[in-house]
Amino acid sequence: MNNNLFLHNGFNKKQTPFYYYDVKCLIDTLTLMNQKLEPYPNFHVHYALKANANLRILSLINSYISGVDCVSGGEIRAAIEAGFDPSDIVFAGVGKADWEIKYALECGIYCFNVESEEELEVINSLAAQWNLVAKVALRINPDVGAHTNANIATGLAENKFGISMQHMDAVIDKAFILDHVKFIGLHFHIGSQILEMNDFVALCNRINELQDRLEAHHINIEYINVGGGLGIDYDDPLQHPFPDFESYFSTYNKFLKVHPYQTVHFELGRSIVGQCGDLISRVLYVKKGMNKQFAILDAGMTDLIRPALYHAHHYIENISSELPEELYDVVGPVCESSDVFGKDIRLNWVERGDFIAIESAGAYGESMASCYNCRPLPKSYLSCDFDNE
Ligand code: LLP
């Protein structure tokens, strides 16, 4: 996301649609995050790789953040390929397949975030085959809501994620009995795109409660992973290109009870990469409807599925025109009525061939792209690729 996309002549030479990543925006975001982390030496960030797994982006992130959060064997492979050290990988996911667990053990990852008693037993038995001891944190479902889209809230009892608070003690007891797992702590994640700090306060209160309960049984944990979830401004990315890392970390510092021997881990995805990426497309046709007009793009839900899947809002701009504004429904070419990026969007007068930027698409954009309708996956470029154009 940036203000001078309009000036990029280099776009003309590229096949659209493509993802455009603004390296300066990404570096500024990472620098700001590290700056806001500095006062808290026991806080550690793991980049949630699911948000964007583009190898060039990953390598860049790796020069600012050492930790990474993966949710599949493929993500572990991508993290290692990008330069992350296996000993800084945490591996979450409600359904880890045996091959993924074996692969993670073989790589020597830091910790498994375990989501059920059965998974704990499987990890134990696979680790036993190689006479290893796997470090595990138990992901607890804290039954804490979040002010976000229901599809991306994860911390309620009705969600499939984590071990329920009622079963927590039994699963911890089990972990102590098993020889090939070492219980190190607890993991949580209440959802994504959260802008209300009070939601994180509610999570802190719950974690404090659970810690008190464990300490009463003389169980001390060294590792607390609070997940990710910090949101970004999709409505006005030009005014607010950076997430509020300061409030986020200071909220945890203020409300979470942390002993000196404990480390607190965060799994941030969207807040790191969300604002640095735009989806760039060309207008194929402008079609008059009964009471509206459609700007039909060559990008569709296969390239950026968030609007179709969650009715997510992205700021859209015609970066080829400064003519007066009109209202358009901005749609893709895919054979689905939900292939819509936005309705009644105010855009500078649109003509065939204009470039349209769909902003704040760096997180869960390229990583969720598909080949539906046998469409090719979108390409991607970094801003530095255009430096000499
Ligand atoms: N940790 C866990 C266990 C998670 O499940 C997630 C995201 C994260 C960390 C990173 O959360 P973030 O900091 O990015 O909010 N595709 C959806 C978002 C799904 C999020 C899934 N889990 C979207 O496009 O909004």
Does residue 269's CB lie within 6 angstroms of at least one atom of ligand 1? yes
Closest C-alpha to ligand 1, atom 24: 364
Q: What is the pLDDT of residue 387?
A: 83
Give the pLDDT score at 2.
42
Q: Assess whether the C-beta atom of 364 lies below 6 angstroms from ligand 1.
A: yes
**331: helix, coil or strand?**
strand
For residue 4, pLDDT beyond 60: no
Residue 1: predicted pLDDT: 38
User: pLDDT, tens digit, for every residue of 239-279?
Assistant: 999 999 999 999 999 999 999 999 999 999 999 999 999 99
Range name among 7-16, 225-234, 327-336 with the lowest pLDDT average: 7-16
Least confident stretch, 31-40, 146-155, 198-207, 215-224: 146-155
> Residue 148 above 90 pLDDT?
no
Token pair listed for 26: 């990404």
The per-residue pLDDT for range 170-220, each reduced to its tens digit, is 999 999 999 999 999 999 999 999 999 999 999 999 999 999 999 999 999
pLDDT band at residue 7 using 50, 70 and 90 as cut-offs: low
Higher pLDDT, 327 or 389: 327
pLDDT at residue 155 in the model: 67
Q: How far is CA 302 from CA 1, 93, 236, 274, 372, in A?
A: 20, 24, 24, 18, 6
Q: How confident is the model at residue 100 (pLDDT cuts 50, 70, 90)?
A: very high
The answer, yes or no, to whether any atom of ligand 1 lies below 6 A from the CB of 188, is no
Residue 71 has pLDDT above 50, yes or no: yes
In angstroms, what is the span from residue 190 Cα to ligand 1's centroid? 9
Spatial separation of the C-alpha atoms in residues 299 and 141, rounded to whole Å: 37
| Contact predicate 313/330, CB 8 Å | no
- Cβ of 266 less than 6 Å from ligand 1: no
Task: Give the percent of the chain with pLDDT over 70.
Answer: 96
Length of the chain, in residues: 389
Q: Is 155 in the pocket of ligand 1 (CB under 6 A)?
A: no
Is 189 a pocket residue for ligand 1 (Cβ < 6 Å)? yes
Which residue pairs from 217-221 have beta carbons closer than 8 angstroms and sit at least 24 positions apart in sequence?
Answer: 217/169, 219/172, 220/259, 220/261, 221/183, 221/184, 221/185, 221/186, 221/262
Q: What is the pLDDT of residue 3?
A: 45
Tokens standing for residue 372? 């539906």
Mean pLDDT of all residues in the chain?
Answer: 94
**Spatial CB neighbours of 143, under 8 Å, sequence gap ≥ 6:** 155, 156, 157, 164, 165, 206
Q: Does residue 370 register a pLDDT over 80?
A: yes
Render pLDDT for 284-338 as a digit per residue (tens, 0 to 9): 999 998 899 999 999 999 999 999 999 999 999 999 999 999 999 999 999 999 9
Rg (alpha carbons) of the chain, rounded to whole number: 22
Terminal alpha carbon distance of the chain? 19
* Residue 344, token pair as written in the block: 């009644």
All domains of the chain in start order, with CATH: 5-18+275-386 (2.40.37.10), 23-274 (3.20.20.10)
Span 158-169, mean pLDDT? 86
Q: Which atom of ligand 1 is nearest to the CA of 270?
A: 14
